[in-house]
């Protein structure tokens, strides 16, 4: 495991501020600020420590590109590829990458439910995406990701657990605020870990302890060497 991300704890971290200011729309800047405020530098470092310094890294469900724009600054020798269903979000992410002068990140429109292994990836991550995908498509997607990773490569999944229930409801209300329609299917940590193992990953999971009522769980899934 590597630990390249700066060990700052605050929202004043330069790469975070650069990402926030790269969006033209103040609503997106506010969303981005809130999202980073929720996850904070500690969580960015916690996720970032599992990313390789080189190779292609897939950000599936990249949204406005917050994370790939952040990690592309921290890991300049890696190439980030963001894929999201929303054309609007992809366009915003592309414009923000240009404003940041980042040449190591690209964005495209794509549907995770139809995603196929199309390259060899050093790593991939899905942050708060699995619960937006219809249950029947989750296993095939994980199988494709397993196939697409190079031996020893990692898939990092951040999801919310179904317990405790009050935290799940808190998360559900916020999810519905962001997307009034569409799938929301939370997986219990045991259920999702079992599925990840069934498709062939070695899984290490840990809670991301938060003072906000989010039941975040991070799954570090390794493809065998």
Ligand X SMILES: C[S@@+](CC[C@H](N)C(=O)[O-])C[C@H]1O[C@@H](n2cnc3c(N)ncnc32)[C@H](O)[C@@H]1O
Binding site for ligand X (CB under 6 A): 35, 61-63, 66-67, 84-86, 89, 111-113, 127-129, 132-133
| Cα three-residue angle 33-39-45, rounded to 5 degrees | 115
Residue 225 Cβ vs ligand X, minimum distance, rounded to whole Å: 28
Residue 132 Cβ vs ligand X, minimum distance, rounded to whole Å: 4
What is d(CA 51, CA 68) in angstroms, rounded to the nearest whole number?
Answer: 11
Helices marked H in the chain: 14-21, 26-48, 66-74, 87-100, 135-148, 165-178, 189-198
What is d(CA 175, CA 178) in angstroms, rounded to the nearest whole number?
Answer: 5
- Select 20 or 202, whichever has its Cβ closest to ligand X: 20
- Select 98 or 178, whichever has its Cβ closest to ligand X: 178
- Select 61 or 153, whichever has its Cβ closest to ligand X: 61
- Select 129 or 156, whichever has its Cβ closest to ligand X: 129
- Select 49 or 86, whichever has its Cβ closest to ligand X: 86
Q: Phi, psi at residue 138, to the nearest 5°? A: -70, -50
Residue 197 Cβ vs ligand X, minimum distance, rounded to whole Å: 23
Residue 65 Cβ vs ligand X, minimum distance, rounded to whole Å: 8
Per DSSP, the three-state class of 52 is coil
Residue 86 Cβ vs ligand X, minimum distance, rounded to whole Å: 4
- The answer to whether 122 and 56 have CB atoms below 8 angstroms apart is yes
What is d(CA 140, CA 66) in angstroms, rounded to the nearest whole number?
Answer: 26
Shortest Cβ contact with ligand X: which residue? 63
């Amino acid at each position: 495991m590597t630990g390249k991300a700066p060990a700052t704890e605050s929202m004043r971290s330069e790469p975070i501020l650069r990402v926030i200011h790269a969006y033209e729309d103040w609503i997106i800047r506010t969303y981005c600020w809130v999202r980073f405020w929720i996850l904070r530098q500690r969580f960015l470092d916690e996720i970032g420590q599992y990313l390789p310094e080189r190779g292609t890294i897939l950000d599936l469900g990249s949204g406005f590109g917050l994370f790939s724009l952040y990690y592309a600054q921290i890991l300049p020798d890696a190439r980030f590829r963001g894929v999201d269903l929303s054309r609007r979000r992809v366009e915003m992410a592309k414009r923000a990458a240009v404003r940041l002068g980042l040449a190591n990140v690209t964005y495209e429109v794509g549907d995770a439910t139809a995603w196929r292994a199309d390259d060899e990836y050093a790593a991939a991550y899905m942050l708060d995406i699995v619960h937006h995908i219809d249950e029947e498509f989750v296993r095939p997607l994980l199988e494709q990701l397993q196939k697409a990773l190079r031996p020893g490569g990692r898939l990092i999944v951040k999801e919310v657990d179904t317990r405790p229930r009050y935290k799940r409801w808190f998360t559900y209300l916020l999810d519905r605020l962001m997307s009034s329609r569409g799938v929301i299917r939370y997986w219990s940590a045991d259920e999702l870990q079992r599925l990840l193992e069934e498709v062939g990953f070695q899984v290490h999971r840990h809670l991301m302890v938060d003072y906000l009522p989010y039941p975040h769980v991070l799954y570090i899934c390794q493809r065998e060497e």
